[in-house]
Amino acid sequence: MENTGFSLLTLVLFLPMVGFSILLFMREEQEAAIKWTALGTSLVTFVASLLLWIGFDFNNPGLQFVQQWGFLPSYGINYYVGIDGLSLLLIILTTFIMPIGILSSFNSHIFHERGRIKLYFMFMLLLEWAMLGVFMAQDLVIFYIFWEVTLVPMYFLIGIWGAERRIYAAVKFFLYTMAGSILMLLAILYVGLQAGTFAVPEIIAGIQSGAISFPLDGIFSTQSFLFLGFFIAFAIKVPIWPLHSWLPDAHVQAPTAGSVILAGVMLKLGTYGLVRFCLPLFPEASIAWAPVVGVLAVIGIIYGAWVSYAQTDIKKLVAYSSVSHLGFVVLGIFALNSQGIEGSILQMVNHGISTGGLFLLVGMLYERRHTKDIAAYGGIWKALPFFGGISLVVTLSSMGLPGLNGFVGEFMILLGTFGSNSLGFFYAMFATVGVILAAVYSLYMFQRVYMGELDKEENKHLEPMKWNEIAVIIPILIAIFLIGLQPAPFFDTMNASVGSLVAHIGQFVDTTVAQASP
Amino acid sequence: MFEVPSVSSLYLQLALPGISLAAWATLLLVIDLFIPKNRKSVTAWLAIGGIGFAFVVNLLTFNSSGTAFLGMFVADSFGAFMNIIILVGAAIGILLSVDYLKRTDIERGEFYPLMLLTTVGMMFMASANDLTIVFVALELLSIPLYVLAAFRAPDLKSEESGMKYFILGSFSSAFFVFGAALIYGATGTTNLQEISAALGLLGAVTGPSPFLLLLGAGMMLVGLGFKVAVVPFHAWTPDVYEGAPTPVTAFMSVGAKAGGFAALLRILIVGLPLLMVGEQTSASWQTIVWLLAAATLILGNLVAISQTNIKRMLAYSSIAHAGYIMMAVAAAGTPGVGDQAVRAALVYLLSYTFTNLGAFAIAMTLEKNDGTGTDISTFNGLFRTRPALAIMMTVFMLSLTGIPLTSGFIGKWLVFQSTLSADLVPLAVIGVLTSVVSAYYYIRIVVNMFFGEGAGDPAEGATPYVNWAIYISFAGTVLLGIIPVLVTTLSDRITLVAALVP
């Protein structure tokens, strides 16, 4: 394992904390300085993360930029970070979304009402740090620490700067996700005690060589419980139906930037966890549970789309569409083959960009009209043609139009599901229904908000887009077209790592089948 | 018959931290007479000086080991680590008291020597190697606390607090003594090592009676369980905590707990680790401790939800935290897990000391001079008036919940780890699930402070002394959470189990 002194990865991870510390010593009145410091920090972090991509060896399936320091060495717990093809894209997604979230809140109404600008941006940077940590951690305990820490800033972002029912939403968000992850804590402890180490690569190597094994003989066996301990924590975060009920509340009440980050990155913590921990640590249980998870995912796809269609609150509509989109991601992961998993990882990125973009646009509408009721809009295209055009692109990207980013990921996932040994034709078929439903609710929403007659007086004189609103949406558009037209570099990034993951799981297919049919 | 031992054979220097503090407390009673009535903070500073001296001596002699007082007192890393917890707690407790006593008009010089004396009791409990010393230390711990709890007399609640604590405390002491007597009856000794050696003969015809041993262990468990407030011996806690002056409550909630658990761990792990009847492969007391822990966790956390008074809420929370430490005690009953569990319990206690004192300190800043202002609605809007206090209180609440980057997480982590190492999976599950429950009532305080309606309290009790206490607690909570190595390097040296193999 190469361990070259101070790793660039650690630098990327702690850059947001540098900004956090600078903000700590600024005064509340220095509003402009606070905003620009936060934005500058997140931009520098983004650039640094691009350096990671440049320095990344595409052909190496293992960990790169590894760094280890003692945290609690006598208990076998180390600060241990490293990235591979599975995490690199998500790290870049995080550093890409954060400056957008920060810039989008520069002139937000929330500061007129609630103030506390300094605290707001401190929480943003703290959140970025914690989320990056989740994607980088290779030690189960360090991973758990970052995982839990993400809760705190998001809780305050919703609770202090959210909408009317923010307290309810914040507390629900906190308790729901904490309840899920606390069982994972026990599972982590158990795995660590059995394996003698908390370092994920070492545990996986042990599982591969047979030195570490968690018995799986039926639903009530050790590995099954451990799998569920991890799975439930991730499923709540994703969220997988039926554990999704915190999501609409959190999304609707959160401030715009909070929603963008929540949809853009935080939900991916869950799906990333499934790929990074559930599959390789518990391959047999993953194979055994895949059909069940697949059913939940498909229900989520259709349910999310269906409920989306019925919404009258535009933010809630986007929130439920996330349930549907992430159903696809989970389905692709549990296809347990290369196409499915690669499609899922790309779809995580896509969803972050498209849904993040949608939340930004909804936020801009809200800044102008102070309502999220779809019925209050109509004919916006006529009032704001430029804005309408952008909205069309983002909406089409979200529903998966070929040529834009959403299509590539969804197509790969369906392909993977179809060819999967654990899922198969019927899963793919029902998921395809979800694709159609996505077109229905997206276009229906677009029709009601942007098309039709400009018949409401309040909508006739809307303020055109401000400079920072244009500045945040342009990168989103670039990413949408870039991934849609040129997806190859993204797949190249993850190919090797996904290949080794699939090979690792494939090793256990026979044993699992043998155990399942006594 | 009896030989009078020479002073040099007592090895008094091993007990220097405790002895010096005891001597200083007695001296301070006299010195205080010469300190004018309006300058009693001088007494406080002298008391803190004594604690500081003991603390430094304790650190310097951290690695010393040996027995003093003819084997009745043992100096080892366990005791030294406990002393750190107790002395830190005492120092913060005194810092909290100075202005509080003045503004609530109960400033009397005796307060500080009493604080020191109960501290000495705790320290001796942590280093006791003999049941008689445990008992003497237990009384030295308790009696000043009875007085301190009633220090606000003639305030009715404070009198009730002291009276209740005294009566129930006496009962529990009686239980303890009777238990010790039964153990003596079974083994013929009160020395912990000798008890342990006698247990080696358990099952032999000439060996000790398992019936007497079990009954004795059970009764001692009742006596110490009362001091640390585990269910079902917890009923006094909310009333006493609510009525006692807040600095006393704060100190009591950590100090008495530390002392009680220290004695409990020593008795169970040094004295009775081999108490296994018949085919048992782990200590007989494990099951009952397990049940006590589970009951404590469930009841403490559930009842805390419905509290509206911050002192009562923290009282139930302190019951709940006794449950988490009891988890480690239960884990210690499995051979091979003992030291790991002891270390976990001690790190937990240290973390709890910082966090809980901080929480009480902030609650105290909101308290009015007449003892009102302890309702949790007082916290409403605190973030608007005193943002720094609100943020620090948030950290304390997160730490009590066990969220990472605070000391509470490290403590819980180690405790859960030892519980799983001992294969007590159901207990660990109860532990994590009740943690979620606890999140509910801790977060409610945060909700009140940040989102609550109301103008916000000016927190007039936040005087410089109190602020320093809060800063120290805050630093401890955060440092221990981010750089736990600072503490584990010390706690890793604790070997209680090995002490029984001569």
Q: What is the ipTM of this complex?
A: 0.86
* B500: its two tokens: 């029984």
Backbone angles phi and psi of A301, in degrees to 5: -60, -50
On the question of pLDDT at A331 being above 50, the answer is: yes
* A89: its two tokens: 């894209």
On the question of pLDDT at A4 being above 70, the answer is: no
DSSP assignment string, A26-58:
S-TT-HHHHHHHHHHHHHHHHHHHHHHHHH--T
Yes or no, beta carbons of A175 and B451 under 8 Å apart: no
Nearest to B67 by CA among B125, B6, B14, B136: B14
Q: Which candidate from A152, A171, A175 shows the least CB-CB separation from B398?
A: A152
How buried is A457 (Cβ within 10 angstroms: 0-12 exposed, 13-18 middle, 19+ buried)? exposed
- Nearest chain B residue to A149 by CA distance is B404
Rg of chain A taking only CA atoms, in angstroms: 22
CA A108 – CA A144 distance, rounded (Å): 33
CA distance B355 to chain A (A): 18
* B55: its two tokens: 């603390």
On the question of pLDDT at A82 being above 50, the answer is: yes
Task: Specify the DSSP element, H or E, that contains A386.
Answer: helix A385-399
What is the model's pLDDT at position A5? 57
Under the banding of pLDDT at 50, 70 and 90, the label for residue B501 is: very low
Within-domain flag for B114:
yes
- B-chain residues near A186 (CB < 8 A): 416, 420, 428-429, 432
Within-domain flag for B5:
no
Yes or no, beta carbons of B443 and A71 under 8 Å apart: no
Yes or no, beta carbons of A189 and B420 under 8 Å apart: yes
Share of chain B above pLDDT 90, in %: 48
Under the banding of pLDDT at 50, 70 and 90, the label for residue B48 is: very high
Angle at A71 (CA atoms; ends A68, A76), nearest 5 degrees: 85
Among A7-21, A107-121, A298-312, the least confident range:
A107-121
Contact assessment for residue B393 and residue B382, using Cβ atoms and an 8 Å cutoff: yes
Contacts of B1 (CB under 8 A, 6+ apart): none
What is the model's pLDDT at position B84? 93
State chain A's mean pLDDT as an integer. Answer: 86
- The residues of A whose Cβ lies within 8 A of any Cβ of B are 70-75, 119, 141, 144-146, 148-149, 151-152, 156, 159-160, 166-167, 170-171, 174-175, 178-179, 182-183, 185-186, 189-190, 192-193
CA distance B403 to chain A (A): 7
- A-chain residues near B413 (CB < 8 A): 141, 185, 189
CA B189 – CA B174 distance, rounded (Å): 19
Q: Which of A171, A177, A253 has the highest number of chain B CBs within 10 A, making it the mutation to test binding with B?
A: A171
DSSP assignment string, B196-258:
HHHHTTTTSTTS--HHHHHHHHHHHHHHHHHHHT-TTS-THHHHHHHHS-HHHHHHHHHHHHH
Domain ranges of chain A: 8-516
* B119: its two tokens: 């501290």
- A-chain residues near B421 (CB < 8 A): 193
Under the banding of pLDDT at 50, 70 and 90, the label for residue A511 is: low
Yes or no, beta carbons of A75 and B409 under 8 Å apart: no
Whether residue B336 lies within 8 A of chain A, CB to CB, comes out as: no
Yes or no, beta carbons of B443 and A171 under 8 Å apart: yes
Longest alpha-carbon distance in chain A:
71
Share of chain A above pLDDT 70, in %: 97
- A-chain residues near B418 (CB < 8 A): none
Contact assessment for residue A247 and residue A307, using Cβ atoms and an 8 Å cutoff: no
What is the model's pLDDT at position B114? 93
Which residue range is the domain that position B192 belongs to? Answer: 10-500
CA B352 – CA B322 distance, rounded (Å): 10
Yes or no, beta carbons of B403 and A72 under 8 Å apart: no
- Nearest chain A residue to B448 by CA distance is A167
* pTM score, whole prediction: 0.91
Yes or no, beta carbons of A75 and B416 under 8 Å apart: no
- Nearest chain A residue to B493 by CA distance is A74
DSSP assignment string, B383-415:
HHH-HHHHHHHHHHHHHHHT-TTSHHHHHHHHH
Whether residue B414 lies within 8 A of chain A, CB to CB, comes out as: yes
CA A344 – CA A342 distance, rounded (Å): 5
* B207: its two tokens: 């060996």
- A-chain residues near B387 (CB < 8 A): 119
Number of other residues whose CB lies within 10 A of the CB of residue B430: 21
Which DSSP symbol is given to B335?
T
- A185-189 mean pLDDT: 89
Yes or no, beta carbons of A186 and B429 under 8 Å apart: yes
Contact pairs from chain A to chain B, CB under 8 Å: 75
Q: Which candidate from B413, B432, B451 shows the least CB-CB separation from A159?
A: B451
Whether residue B488 lies within 8 A of chain A, CB to CB, comes out as: yes
Under the banding of pLDDT at 50, 70 and 90, the label for residue A1 is: very low
Contacts of A487 (CB under 8 A, 6+ apart): A346, A405, A408
Within-domain flag for B147:
yes
Which DSSP symbol is given to A82?
E
CA A157 – CA A119 distance, rounded (Å): 9
- B-chain residues near A139 (CB < 8 A): none
Alpha helices in B107-209 (DSSP H): 111-127, 131-149, 156-187, 192-199
Yes or no, beta carbons of B451 and A182 under 8 Å apart: no
CA distance A13 to chain B (A): 16
- Nearest chain A residue to B384 by CA distance is A116
Tokens 């256990």 found at: A508
Yes or no, beta carbons of B416 and A186 under 8 Å apart: yes
* A227: its two tokens: 């799998």
Which DSSP symbol is given to A139?
B
Cα→Cα distances A254→A168, A249, A270, A316, B441, Å? 11, 8, 19, 11, 22
- A-chain residues near B406 (CB < 8 A): none
Q: Using CA of residue B119, residue B122, residue B128, residue B131, what is the dihedral sign?
A: positive
Length of chain B equals 502
Within-domain flag for B2:
no
pLDDT tens digits, one per residue of B382-398: 888 888 899 999 999 99
CA A412 – CA A432 distance, rounded (Å): 12
pLDDT tens digits, one per residue of B174-190: 999 999 999 998 888 88
Under the banding of pLDDT at 50, 70 and 90, the label for residue B198 is: confident
Under the banding of pLDDT at 50, 70 and 90, the label for residue A248 is: confident
Q: Using CA of residue B421, residue B422, residue B426, residue B431, what is the dihedral sign?
A: negative
Tokens 């040094």 found at: B270
CA distance A423 to chain B (A): 33
Contact assessment for residue A132 and residue A76, using Cβ atoms and an 8 Å cutoff: no
What residue type is assigned to position B36 of the chain? P
* A99: its two tokens: 């400056």
Share of chain B above pLDDT 70, in %: 99
What is the model's pLDDT at position B146? 93
Within-domain flag for B4:
no
Under the banding of pLDDT at 50, 70 and 90, the label for residue A2 is: very low
- A31-46 mean pLDDT: 89
The DSSP bridge pattern shows strands B73-75 and A77-83 to be: unpaired
Yes or no, beta carbons of A185 and B432 under 8 Å apart: yes
Which DSSP symbol is given to B74?
E
Contact assessment for residue B91 and residue B48, using Cβ atoms and an 8 Å cutoff: yes
Yes or no, beta carbons of B404 and A167 under 8 Å apart: no
Q: Cα torsion at A170, A171, A176, A178 (round to 10°)?
A: 100
Yes or no, beta carbons of A145 and B409 under 8 Å apart: yes
Helices and strands per DSSP (H, E), number in chain B: 19, 2
Contact assessment for residue A273 and residue A231, using Cβ atoms and an 8 Å cutoff: no
* B201: its two tokens: 């003969």
Yes or no, beta carbons of B488 and A189 under 8 Å apart: no
Contacts of B427 (CB under 8 A, 6+ apart): B290, B293, B294, B327, B330, B419
- Nearest chain A residue to B436 by CA distance is A179
- B34-49 mean pLDDT: 87
DSSP reduced 3-state for B66: strand
Rg of chain B taking only CA atoms, in angstroms: 22
Whether residue B447 lies within 8 A of chain A, CB to CB, comes out as: yes
Yes or no, beta carbons of B420 and A156 under 8 Å apart: no
* A80: its two tokens: 């241990």
- Nearest chain A residue to B445 by CA distance is A171
Which DSSP symbol is given to A265?
I
State chain B's mean pLDDT as an integer. Answer: 88
* A511: its two tokens: 């044993």
Number of domains in chain B: 1
On the question of pLDDT at A512 being above 70, the answer is: no
CA distance B491 to chain A (A): 10
pLDDT tens digits, one per residue of B317-345: 999 999 999 999 999 988 888 888 999 99
- A404-430 mean pLDDT: 86
Cα B208 to chain centroid distance, Å, stands at: 32
pLDDT tens digits, one per residue of A427-484: 888 888 888 888 888 888 888 888 877 777 777 777 888 888 888 899 999 999 888 8
CA distance A167 to chain B (A): 7
CA A43 – CA A100 distance, rounded (Å): 9
- Nearest chain A residue to B449 by CA distance is A160
Q: Which candidate from B410, B435, B440 shows the least CB-CB separation from A182?
A: B435
What is the model's pLDDT at position B502? 40
Yes or no, beta carbons of B433 and A152 under 8 Å apart: no
On the question of pLDDT at A356 being above 60, the answer is: yes
Number of other residues whose CB lies within 10 A of the CB of residue B371: 17
Contacts of A304 (CB under 8 A, 6+ apart): A241, A244, A320, A321, A322, A323, A324, A325, A327
On the question of pLDDT at A3 being above 70, the answer is: no
Among A47-61, A453-467, B133-147, B154-168, the least confident range:
A453-467
Cα B336 to chain centroid distance, Å, stands at: 25
Q: Which candidate from B416, B440, B485 shows the least CB-CB separation from A70?
A: B485
Yes or no, beta carbons of B440 and A175 under 8 Å apart: yes
3-state percent breakdown (helix, strand, coil) of chain A, nearest 5: 75, 5, 20
More confident residue, A242 or B274: A242
Q: Which candidate from A145, A189, A190 shows the least CB-CB separation from B405?
A: A145
Cα→Cα distances A156→A233, A244, B394, B451, B474, Å? 21, 20, 11, 10, 20
On the question of pLDDT at A516 being above 50, the answer is: no
CA distance B484 to chain A (A): 7
DSSP assignment string, B343-393:
HHHHHHHHHHHHHHHHHHHHHHHH--TTS---BGGGGTTHHHH-HHHHHHH
- B88-95 mean pLDDT: 93
Length of chain A equals 518
CA B38 – CA B30 distance, rounded (Å): 17
Q: Which candidate from B404, B432, B440 shows the least CB-CB separation from A186?
A: B432
DSSP reduced 3-state for A311: coil
How buried is A14 (Cβ within 10 angstroms: 0-12 exposed, 13-18 middle, 19+ buried)? middle
Among A342-351, A420-429, B40-49, B438-447, the least confident range:
A420-429
Whether residue B433 lies within 8 A of chain A, CB to CB, comes out as: yes
